[in-house]
Structure 1
Amino acid sequence: MELEEIKARFWSKPTADRAAVLLNLMHIMTVDSGCSL
């Protein structure tokens, strides 16, 4: 997924959904890199 697409999706969300999107992205990134928080 393109970074610009992620940003566009993020900013099109209502404020309440942004935190959830951000957490989801962080989770995906940590899983993809083989790390866990």
Structure 2
Amino acid sequence: VVNIDNGVGAGAIAALIANRVAAFRGKEAGGLKK
């Protein structure tokens, strides 16, 4: 595990996860609901 500066590392990881979740939910919502 590479220990990046907490603020930057946590922010980057949170952004990546949020991006994936948002993209996935966007597809789900677009496919199931209008």
Shorter-chain TM band: 0.5 to 0.7
- Listed as ranges, the gaps of 5+ residues in structure 2 are 1-9
Structure ID, larger Rg: 2
Once the two structures are aligned, what percentage of the paired residues are identical? 4
Query: Which structure is richer in relative contact order (CA contacts within 8 A, separation 6 or more)?
Result: 1
- Listed as ranges, the gaps of 5+ residues in structure 1 are 1-12
Instruction: Give every structure 1 segment of 4 or more consecutive aligned residues whose post-TM-superposition deviation is greater than 6 Å.
Output: none
Q: How many residues align?
A: 23
Q: CA RMSD in A?
A: 2.0
Distance 1:16 1:23 in 2: 11
